[in-house]
Amino acid sequence: MPLSKEDRVVNTDNIQGSIWPRLPKTYESYLFFKITNKEKFRNDLHAIIDEITTGSECEKYLTSIGELEEASVSWRKAHPEPKPFVAVNIAFTHPGLLKVEPPEVQERFAKRKADDPDAYCTERINEGLFEKGMFLDLTTEGADYYDLLDQDFKPPDRGNASIKDDTERWTWRTDGVFIVAAHSPKALHNKIGDLMDAFHAGDANTRSMKIAFKRDGQLRPGDSRGKEHFGWEDHISQPKIQGLDKPPAKGEPHACKPGYIFLGHKGDPNLRRPTKPPAWAKEGSFFVFRQLDQKVPEFENFLQETAPKITGSNYQGEGGPEKLGAHLMGRWKSGTPDPSTSDPLISRQELTRRIGAPVAKAVDRDDPSLAWDNKFDYRPNKSIKGCPFSAHTRKMRPRSDEKAAVGTEEDGDETPLPEPEDSDQSEAEGQEESPNVILRRGISFGPELTDQEKKEKKTIESRGILFTCYQSMIRDGFNFLMTRWASNENFPKYKTKTFPHGVGMDAFVHQKNRPDHPNGHVALYDGDHDDRTVKVELGVQPWVDQKGGEYFFTPSIQALKEQFSTAPA
């Protein structure tokens, strides 16, 4: 739940709702556009700014239907006749912002550049990865592989030409994206039509922008609502924001500083840089879009074949594959009852309440009482008996692995953690959230598994996650998680009781796309030996294809009005 409006440090009337609390959506389209007439685009944008959905508007709607808390039982309930709602947000790439910035800014900077070729513009965002875009960033620093990327997210093949040194490297990139969300396909389609009309997109003579390509997502149907295609609940354990959300419950991770998500607020790492962001960037946020194609039959087949082969007793028996999957993710699917402890006739409603028990607290079997639980931090954090060090949830949000030590950090230690309000502030501050947090806002795409795919155990239809997230600095957020944590076999660090080759990689988003990439593996407790783990090879990424994406900036409502649009004369 959020704080009252008068107590908030972030103006939710000024932020776009996709950042916080999120866009209400059952169906969602991302319309990637190219600006064709800069002056006209500024005029057309000015005419629709009142239709850009704010955080306050999303909060009001989500509260009215009882779904403000994203990861909850109420959120998992399908609504046969959902309350009508449509939403629109907009974000720009670096090339797009340059096109829509005020003409006088462009003129002033052109004059300065003529006098000093190394000059930078203080009225622009000077953020390296945002300027590069995802392709140039993750094919040079990361492990993205040109041949596996979707054509929409990479430049045309220029043979042996260097993409990095190409002066035309920005011309192929989109200028921005409209995010359109709705409660029904018809409402979504109608809203997209209204947007196209507002920018005259159907008329080549009068249009101010054109749609380059789009991606369509939707929540999965029935009991799978809110789950991604592998079957786990998405969006559990989002960071709470100081001065916006109510404080976390005792035992949950501390709230993060608002500047980790919104530029210009306390904690914003950009404010420490020599090239501080311009005033208009306040309450904006960097938006990352990335397409992840999921191969569900291949993943399920991996679990079934691998679990019985793992040395030791930990993954043997009938429930071994399910347990292995939970340990790779860090949470249980909770989609089926444990036959040894539960009624086989358990109701669908009760199954809904069982979702997402953390492996950190339910190590060996699912525990319905821990559904949605967020009161854990992986301590004792050097124990191999709890959540695997390389579990997806631990890699992406390491909690105690990145915080000051408390107690002995060994098995059996139950030293209580200091709370934010404790008198010993120096100790409590050591438990604060790092600037590497992100707000995840993605949605699934593609159809459910077909009978043919189940029979052949092979992916035929395209499905997966349109992953999106927000942060105040891409290098501290998404980029850091992908390049420093997910594919780093030695993170989390300082794990002494482990396989000699490191703790392993994230089984879902690490990258092993070509021979020169590191071999993927995870290190797991075998159930029999307390002093070492067993190595399980992952090989070439077999169940997630990372298809690329783009980096954007989501301006505040005020910035859209005053910086990037113009009322017609």
> What does the block give as tokens for 247?
């404080």
Residue 199 forms part of a structural domain? yes
Query: Helix 38-48 crosses helix 185-198 at what angle (to 10 degrees)?
Result: 130
In this structure, is residue 488 part of a structural domain?
no
Per-residue model confidence (pLDDT) at position 423: 47
Tokens of 507: 């089984």
Question: What is the C-alpha separation between 335 and 350, in angstroms, rounded?
Answer: 10
Position 229 confidence tier, pLDDT thresholds 50, 70, 90: very high
Distance between CA atoms of residues 421 and 428, nearest Å: 8
- pLDDT for 350 equals 53
- What SS3 class is residue 468? strand
DSSP code of residue 465: E
The pLDDT value given to residue 381: 87
Model pLDDT, residue 341: 47
* 165/354: higher pLDDT: 354
pTM across the whole model: 0.94
Q: What is the largest CA-CA distance in the chain?
A: 78
Per-residue confidence (pLDDT) for residue 34, from 0 to 100: 98
- Give the whole-angstrom CA distance, residue 217 versus residue 423: 47
- Average pLDDT for residues 87-112, to the nearest whole number? 94
pLDDT band of 363, cuts 50, 70, 90:
very high
The helix or strand, by DSSP H or E, that contains position 187, with its residue range, turns out to be: helix 185-198
Q: Which two tokens stand for residue 106?
A: 């462009």
Pick from 565, 556, 559, 553: nearest CA to 125: 553
Question: Tokens in use for 76?
Answer: 């998992």
pLDDT of residue 118: 83
533-545 per-position pLDDT tens digit = 999 999 776 799 9
pLDDT digits (tens, 9 = 90+) for 1-45: 799 999 999 999 999 999 999 999 999 999 999 999 999 999 999
User: Which residue type does 264 have?
Assistant: G
Which two tokens mark 132? 């590069």
Does 220 map to a domain?
yes
Say if residue 338's pLDDT is above 50: no
> Which pLDDT score is estimated for 139?
87
As a whole number, mean pLDDT of residues 340-364 equals 68
Range list of H helices, 359-486: 392-396, 425-429, 451-456, 478-480
Residue 424's pLDDT band (cuts 50, 70, 90)? low
Mean pLDDT of 471-495: 93
Average pLDDT over residues 248-252: 88
Mean pLDDT, residues 392-421 taken together? 79
Q: Give the per-residue pLDDT at 80.
A: 74
Q: What pLDDT score does 167 carry?
A: 53
Average confidence score pLDDT of the chain = 89
The answer to whether 503 touches 387, Cβ cutoff 8 Å, is no
pLDDT value of residue 420? 64
- The answer to whether position 447 is within a domain reads no
Exposure string (b/e) for 461-483, b if CB count within 10 Å is 16 or more?
eebbbbbbbbbbbbbbbbbbbbb
Residue 121 has pLDDT above 80, yes or no: yes
Mean pLDDT value of segment 203-232:
94
Question: Sign of the CA dihedral 377, 383, 388, 392?
Answer: positive
| Predicted confidence (pLDDT) at residue 464 exceeds the cutoff of 90 | yes
Confidence (pLDDT) at 198: 98
DSSP letter for each residue of 64-98: HTT-SSSSSHHHHS--SSPPP-EEEEEEE-HHHHH
Q: Is the pLDDT confidence value at 248 over 60? A: yes
Per-residue pLDDT, 347 = 52
CA 55/CA 62 separation, integer angstroms: 11
Q: Is residue 86 part of a domain?
A: yes
pLDDT digits (tens, 9 = 90+) for 162-193: 555 555 667 899 999 999 999 999 999 999 99
Confidence bin at 337 (pLDDT 50/70/90): very low
Q: Quick check: is 433 in a domain?
A: no
**Helix (H) or strand (E) run with residue 181 in it:** strand 176-182
Question: Which tokens is 93 given?
Answer: 């790439």
Q: In the chain, how many domains are there?
A: 1
3-state class percentages of the chain: helix first, strand second, coil last, to nearest 5: 30, 15, 55
For residue 469, being part of any structural domain is answered with no
**Region 427-433: what's the mean pLDDT?**
73
The Cα–Cα gap between 226 and 222 comes to 9
Tens of pLDDT, residues 288-311: 999 999 999 999 999 999 999 999
The pLDDT of residue 256 is above 50: yes
Q: Which domain holds residue 179?
A: 5-292+556-562
Examine residue 214 and state whether it is found in any structural domain, yes or no: yes
- Tokens at residue 480, please? 């850091």
pLDDT value at residue 429? 66
As a whole-number percent, the residues of the chain with pLDDT over 90 amount to 66
Mean pLDDT of 356-373: 92
> Distance between CA 20 and CA 288 in Å, rounded?
15
